[in-house]
Structure 1
Amino acid sequence: MTTSKHIYFAAPLFAQSDLFYNQHLVEKIRKIDTELTVYLPQENAGINDKTAYADSKMIALADTDEVLKSDLMIALLDGLTIDAGVASEIGVAYAKGIPVIALYTDSRQQGADNLKKLKALQTPAENQFHYLNLYTVGLIKLNGSIVSTEDALLEQIKLFLEGSDLHDL
């Protein structure tokens, strides 16, 4: 499959664990098709070498330019909240009609049919589930999809590259 598609990979990149996971997942995405270009911001030393200097405008211009060149955005939603930079990048993608496939692996989303967990929602401070900002989630769902596993993410990328509409997946 020759695609010549450009993917923007939006993810937190400040902890060593983030950097390793991002690289791990991008390597899997790049193996889908050798013609695929994946922009991983942490690989852009011009703005993300934290021993050097890049001001806010340099970072905003560089990453926004890459978002706007993209045919698809992959966004990682895991963490205490959706990373602020990721949320901003999702907003740019939505405004420009660039589809987003988001990965949300938080284990607290499991058990949605567990009656004890559901009943606990009636007790203050006993929410057994994780909350994501619904505005950002809505922007993704209006122009893409959210999956909960790496395999589902890779499958949706393949389907997108084959021409499938993310709204139908």
Structure 2
Amino acid sequence: MTISNHLYFAAPMFSQGDLRYNAHVVEEIRALSSEITVYLPQENEAINDKSAYADSKMIALADTEEVLRSDLMIAILDGLTIDAGVASEIGVAYAKGIPVIGLYTDTRQQGAENPKKLEALQTPAENQFHYVNLYTIGLVKLNGQIVSSESELLIAIQNFLQERRD
């Protein structure tokens, strides 16, 4: 018996870099198993062809419907701030009990044990680390986990699939 594993990929999608990175990660996820289907919003041309027109209600309804039918959300947490759409999608997933795996690859998190970096936190405007919104991070952690690399993400997805099989 095959179990349906529908994943929602929440990520910023407004630059060529975003679009390419999203497609790359989703390709790796899809290669994990034929049991996986991934909804990547940028592939939904009905609402995300930026040369066409889709109003806010069309976008909200289409993406929310996909979030609600998903078994797992993958959320890209990188950027100056967590993308507003991604944060909204995380909120919907949390409210519906849909687990979330957040991918946070920000390199400024490296060196967390470096005494100079830690000491610099005491000096105004010398934070060597990146701040992310703790409310949104809390929603992810309450019903999922945060990983810091693509390889960790793939392992976490495989673990999720295995748990669903057991």
Gaps of at least 5 residues in structure 1 are: 165-169
Q: Distance in 2 between matches of 1:131 and 1:108?
A: 10
Partner in structure 1 of residue 95 of structure 2: 95
CA distance in 2, matches of 1:46, 1:132: 32
Q: TM-score, structure 2 length as denominator?
A: 0.97
- Runs of 4 or more, structure 1, over 6 Å off, are none
Deviations 1:43-90 (A, max 9, x none): 000000000000000000000000000000000000000000000000
List per-residue Cα deviations over 1:84-105 (Å, max 9, x = no partner): 0000000000000000001000
Q: Residue in 2 aligned with 1:10?
A: 10
* Equivalent in the alignment of 2:111: 111
Q: How does 1:1-169 map to 2 (within 5 A)?
A: 2-163=2-163
Paired residue for 1:167?
A: none
| Unpaired runs of at least 5, structure 2 | none
CA–CA distance in structure 1, aligned partners of residues 35 and 43 of structure 2: 18
RMSD across aligned C-alpha pairs, in angstroms?
1.1
Equivalenced residue count is 164
User: Partner amino acid for 2:83?
Assistant: D
Give the partner amino acid of 2:141.
K
TM-score, scaled to structure 1: 0.95
Task: Name the % identity.
Answer: 76
Query: Aligned with 1:74: secondary structure?
Result: strand
Distance in 1 between the 2:131 and 2:121 partners? Answer: 12
How far apart are 1:34 and its partner, in Å?
Answer: 1.1
8 Å contact kept, 1:82–1:133: yes
